[in-house]
Amino acid sequence: MTTPADLQEIARDVRPTGRAAEQRARQGLEDLLLPVGATGSLHRLAVWWAGVRRDAEAAAPTAVTALVLAGDHGIAVRGVSASPLGHTAVTTRTLREGTSATHAVAAGLGVAVRTELADVAGPAGPRAQPFDVGDALDEALLAESVARGVALADELADEGLDLLVLGELNVGGSTTAAAVVGAAQRRRVLEVVGRGSGVDDTAWMRKAAAVREGLRRARTRPRDVPSILAAVGSADVATATALLLRCAARGLPVVLDGPVTTAAAVLAHRVSPTSRQWWLFAERGDEPAVHLVQDALGMQPVHDLGTRTGLAVPGLLALGTLRAAVALATGSATRATYWPTDRTEPDPSDQTEPGEPAGTGEPAGTGEPDADLGPRP
C-alpha cells in the first residue's frame, strides 16, 4: 500500500525555485523601454521561467515534451460522460499514428509527443472501480500507478528536458477530479461538479449523485493523499500526483492542462506545498473544481480561451505564450541603453536662456518616466 511516507520520500528533494533569479528578471523587465504595465501577464511568465531555470537570462524552452496521460475512470460506467468508454482507446490510436490534435499543434512548436497508458478501458472496463459504492483503487493499482509516475518523471528528467507539458485523455476524468477536489478541500457537491465533456442535464444529475456518494464515503476516511486516491481517485490521477512531485524534486517544470492534472496538483500540493512553484496552469477552463484549485493555490492560468480539448493542446498553446514572454524579457531594448539616467552631457531642455527666469524651460524627463513597467507577481 502506498503511504504518506512513500509520497514524502518521492518529494524529499523538492526545493524552491530561484528567488534571486526572479528578482533579477523583475528588475530587467522594469528597465525595458516600454510603457508602464505594457507586459501584462507576460511579466509573470518571464519571472516564473527565470525562477525555475535559476537564471534571469535563461533562453526560452526548446527541449520540450508533451506527455498525454491516457486512462479511464471506474465511475464512467455510471454514464457520467458524453463520451463512451471506448473513446480513449480510439483516440489513443491517433496519438500512436501521429494524427492527433496534439501532433497538429506540437509540430509547429517543435515539441515531441509521448503517450502513457495508465488504465485504458478494455471490453471489461478499466481496472479502477466506481467510487460511489466502494474504493476506486485497490492497493496494487495505487502502488503501481504511483511507481509509474516516479519512473516517468525520472526518465523525462534524465532526457534533459527544459519543460514538460502534461495533458490528459480519459472518460470520466472531470467526475473523478470533482470528487478528489471535493474530498481534499471539504467542498460540497455543487461547488465541484461541472459539465465536463458537455453532458446534458440527466447525465449531470447522475454525475452529481455519484460525486455525492463518493464524498460521503471519503469523509469517513483519513484525509491523507493515499486515502483520498484510494477512495475516489484513479490510476491516472495517482500517476500524475507522483509525477508532479518527482518532477519538482528533479527540477523539471511542468505545464498543467485539464481536470485530472489539476486534481493531481491539489494532492501533490498537500504532500509538498513548495512543489507548486514548479508548475504553470495552461487554461482557466470551465470546470468549477479546476477553478477552486487554481484559486486556492494562488496560480493564475496562462489563458482563458474556453478550450477543453485535453490532449495537452491548451498546454502547448501556453508554451507558445511562455516562449514569447521570455523572448520579450531577454531580447527587448532597455531604458538603460536608449534613455540613460546618468548623462554626462547636459540636456538642453534643462538649461535656461540668458535672462530667462529659472524654471520656465521645458522640464527634463518629459519622455518616459522612471516607473515600474509592470505588475509584480
Q: Which 8-state DSSP code applies to residue 303?
A: B
- Does pLDDT of 365 surpass 70? no
Mean predicted confidence (pLDDT) in 94-117: 97
pLDDT per residue as tens digits for the range 274-324: 999 999 999 999 999 999 999 999 999 999 999 888 999 999 999 999 999
CA dist., res. 229 & res. 237, Å (int): 8
Q: What pLDDT shows up at residue 36?
A: 79
Q: What does the DSSP 8-state code read for residue 227?
A: H
Mean pLDDT (the chain, rounded): 91
Is the pLDDT at 361 greater than 70? The verdict is: no
What is residue 91's three-state secondary structure?
helix
CA dist., res. 27 & res. 32, Å (int): 9
Place of cell 467510487: 131
Global pTM reads: 0.89
Query: If pLDDT is split at 50, 70 and 90, which confidence band does 342 have?
Result: low
**In angstroms, rounded to a whole number, what is the distance separating the alpha carbons of residues 177 and 238?**
11
pLDDT confidence of 149, banded at 50, 70, 90?
Answer: very high
For residues 299 and 279, is the Cβ–Cβ distance under 8 A?
A: yes
Task: Assess whether pLDDT exceeds 70 at residue 327.
Answer: yes
pLDDT tens, residue by residue, 74-105: 999 999 999 999 999 999 999 999 999 999 99
What's the angle, vertex CA 70, arms to CA 321 and CA 137, rounded to 5? Answer: 125
> What one-character DSSP code corresponds to residue 199?
-
Asked whether residue 373 carries a pLDDT value surpassing 90, the answer given is: no
pLDDT at 341: 62
Per 3-state DSSP, the chain is made up of helix, strand and coil in percentages (nearest 5) of 50, 10, 40
Which pairing describes strands 64-71 and 112-119: parallel, antiparallel, or unpaired?
A: parallel
> Between these two residues, 338 and 47, which has the higher pLDDT value?
47
Query: Which residues pair with residue 32 across a beta bridge?
Result: 334
Taking residues 167-175, what's their average pLDDT?
98
Q: Report d(CA 356, CA 8) in Å as an integer.
A: 75
Query: Can you tell me the distance from the alpha carbon of 61 to that of 46, in angstroms, rounded to the nearest whole number?
Result: 11
Tell me the three cell numbers of residue 326: 521570455
